[in-house]
Amino acid sequence: MVYSGSFLLFILVVLILYYTVFRKKQWILLLLASLIFYAANDIKYAAFMIFTIVLTYLGAKKIEKLGEIQKETIAANKAQWSSEEKKTYKAGMKKQKQVTMAIIIVICFTILMLFKCTKFVPGFSLILPLGISFYTFQSVGYLVDVYRGRCKAENDFFKYMLFISYFPQIIEGPINRFEELSHQFFEEHRFDYDVVRSGVWLFIWGLFKKLVIADRAAIFVNTVLRGDELPSGSICLMAVFMFNIQLYGDFSGGIDMVRGVSEMFGITLSENFRQPFFARTIGDYWHRWHMSLSNWIRDYVFYPLAFSKPYGALSKAISKKNEHLGKTVPSGIVSVITFLLIGLWHDLSLAYVAYGLWHGFLMAGAEIFRPVFLWINTKLGLNEECFSMRLFGRIRTFLLISVGEVFTILGTFSASLAVFKQIFSSEFKYYAVIIQLAEHGLDSKDLCVLFLAVLFWLFVSCKKESGIRIRQAIAAQPLLFRYLVTVGAIFLIMIFGIYGAGYDASAFIYEGF
């Protein structure tokens, strides 16, 4: 059903009801639509999502109630309690809230990890419930935000259920914050043609990236790297680069469709990508790639570790000998830990451990050796802001990212090593990428379509990087131009999109996580 013809019909029906019959209670329709959508796709595992919703809803209410009891008790005993008694009481209540939160978080992530660990049990396996990673992250984030006082616990259970189960985002994110979405869900949205049209355009753009670019690139990647025998190293290297394009087109295309559908309802979801291949450093890349996950990891994993007592003690001890290392070594250790967790979230395998450690050590090394890099730049008289150095930074980052992605393409560490071996062996054959490219799943016409589509994508990305808002620019054009662009884009997708008998256009890479 996901992004199929039936899904488009489902959206159309919900939109009509949303702006007519349910205009005064739109959030109720969204909740009903979300439950129907989830049941149609994954009715067997719906109980796990409901359980997570109930658990985190009650947990947030409990934590908030403990906070209210604390305030009332302190106010009632203000006259007779000493400052030490007050401090002791507050510490005890804080401990209660922390224990409540910790138990719920452990339960939620235990459920997630149980599904991810079933592959290690012989003769027993479970399919990951639809969106389990994303609704787990989102519900745990909400619970922690209530504990920290960033948002109030939602009193209405069904309103909270909508926040977690909202059907456009349930498949692959983005991971949203309650304080950013709640007011959008529960306020009235009047029909606005410009808003709906803008959402349609974003959906079409995502569909273009998914069907024309990502799924075409996937044919080449699968033929080259998932065959019985690896071809020459230059072809393997091209497949690795192509996988980067496939992954970005697949994931960002899916997110654009998600955000486009949501915009049709007048609800803006958080941005998840910002031209990641324009990044000049690994750190910049992770500020642009899967931004909702990066921000989640930063706020709920990195910062708590970075502000912990062991971190402070280590930083202080190292700073006595070297102030720079005192600041960067502990944060580097935390970076390695957080990226290792990101790798393990993707999959419990040695390949993804290597993926996480690769990114973690790159992030740590960039900070620790920053003075060395600055010294080299100064000695060589390099201007990091000139065009050639900016281009060099982007190419370098793309290559470093590609090395990490080798671990994720085939899913096993041994297969990843085989790809590396082929690329760096005497079988590289640089000429093969020129004369043999059309022998691996895509003929010359398909390669031409892919090349032109990527060029157009790059052009749009350059405009966005320059601050130009593409949809606003199109909206400012005459009606005939807008009509031709919309209809032309639809026909291009119909003509050049990869689909057909036996092809599952609804399968997204990140749906598997």
Token representation of residue 118: 């079933």
Residue pair 373/324 in contact by the 8 Å Cβ criterion: no
Report how far Cα 144 is from the mean position of its chain's Cα atoms: 19
AA identity, residue 275 = Q
- Residue in the structure block whose two tokens are 């990226």: 339
139-152 burial code (b ≥16 CB/10 A, e <16) = bbbbbbbbbeeebe
Q: Which of 310, 311, 327 is nearest to 319 (CA)?
A: 327
Maximum Cα–Cα distance across the chain: 87
CB contact at 8 A, 14 and 33 = yes
Buried residues in 16-28 as b, exposed as e (16+ CB within 10 A): eebbeebeeebbe
Q: Are 359 and 399 in contact (CB under 8 A)?
A: no
Determine the Cα–Cα distance for residues 271 and 180; give it in Å rounded to an integer: 12
- CA 249, CA 271: separation in Å to the nearest integer? 15
DSSP assignment of 253-267 equals: HHHHHHHHHHHHTT-
Q: Give phi and psi for 230, each to the nearest 5.
A: -75, 135
pLDDT 10s digit of each residue in the chain, 513 long? Answer: 455 778 889 999 999 999 999 998 999 999 999 999 988 887 888 899 999 999 999 999 999 999 999 998 988 888 888 888 888 999 999 999 999 999 999 999 999 888 877 666 666 666 778 888 899 999 999 999 999 999 999 999 999 999 999 999 888 879 999 998 989 999 999 999 999 999 999 999 999 999 999 999 999 999 998 877 888 889 999 999 999 999 999 999 999 999 999 999 999 998 899 999 999 999 999 999 989 988 999 899 888 888 888 888 888 999 888 888 988 899 999 999 999 999 988 888 899 999 999 999 999 999 999 999 889 988 888 888 888 899 999 999 999 999 999 999 988 899 999 999 998 887 777 777 888 888 888 889 999 999 999 999 999 999 999 989 899 999 999 999 999 999 999 999 989 888 654 445 446 665 555
Q: Count Cα neighbours of 357 within 13 Å in the Cβ-side half-sphere.
A: 7
CB 101 within 8 A of CB 147: yes
pLDDT at 68: 92
pLDDT at 1: 46
- Tokens 């080259």 -> residue: 224
Closest CA to 440 of 230, 276, 260: 230
Tell me which amino acid residue 247 is. L
| Predicted pLDDT at 126 | 66
How far apart are the C-alpha atoms of 184 and 197, rounded to whole Å? 19
Residue 143 pLDDT: 96
- Is the pTM higher than 0.85? The answer reads yes
Burial of 79 (0-12, 13-18, 19+ CB in 10 A): exposed
**Encoding tokens for residue 218?**
């996937």
